[in-house]
């Protein structure tokens, strides 16, 4: 029987999903920017996209800290070798 994923594995999977979402936000922004440029509309980063990127980056950094914390906890709970 396979072992359930560890907390670190779960957190790494969550981080990967957040990075993918951040990439989609950036890609969508550049696609919209190109369409706006063709239509003669403003092409600057909208506040909405900036807020989304900032929120996602904060979440990624929080997950990174949680991964580090879980790794420290798991290494400190292992018995030391004589």
* Predicted pLDDT of residue 45: 61
Q: What is the pLDDT of residue 50?
A: 83
Q: What is the pLDDT along the chain (82 residues), one digit of tens a residue?
A: 456 679 999 999 999 999 999 999 999 888 887 887 787 766 566 677 888 999 999 999 999 999 999 999 988 876 555 4
pLDDT at 12: 97
Rounded CA separation 58/66 (Å)? 12
User: Does 62 fall in a domain?
Assistant: yes
Nearest residue to 45 (alpha-carbon basis) of 33, 57, 31, 58: 33
Q: Is residue 51 part of a domain?
A: yes
Asked if residue 24 is part of any domain, the answer here is yes
Q: What pTM was estimated for this model as a whole?
A: 0.77
What's the domain count of the chain?
A: 1
pLDDT of residue 75: 85
Range(s) of the domain holding residue 21: 7-69
Structural tokens at position 15? 């981080």
């Amino acid at each position: 029987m396979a072992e359930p994923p560890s907390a670190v594995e779960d957190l790494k999977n969550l981080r990967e999903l957040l990075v993918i979402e951040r990439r989609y936000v950036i890609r969508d922004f550049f696609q919209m920017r190109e369409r706006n440029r063709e239509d003669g509309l403003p092409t600057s980063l909208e506040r909405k996209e900036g807020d989304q990127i900032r929120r996602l980056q904060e979440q990624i950094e929080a997950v990174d800290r949680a991964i580090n914390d879980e790794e420290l906890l798991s290494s400190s709970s292992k018995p030391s070798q004589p």
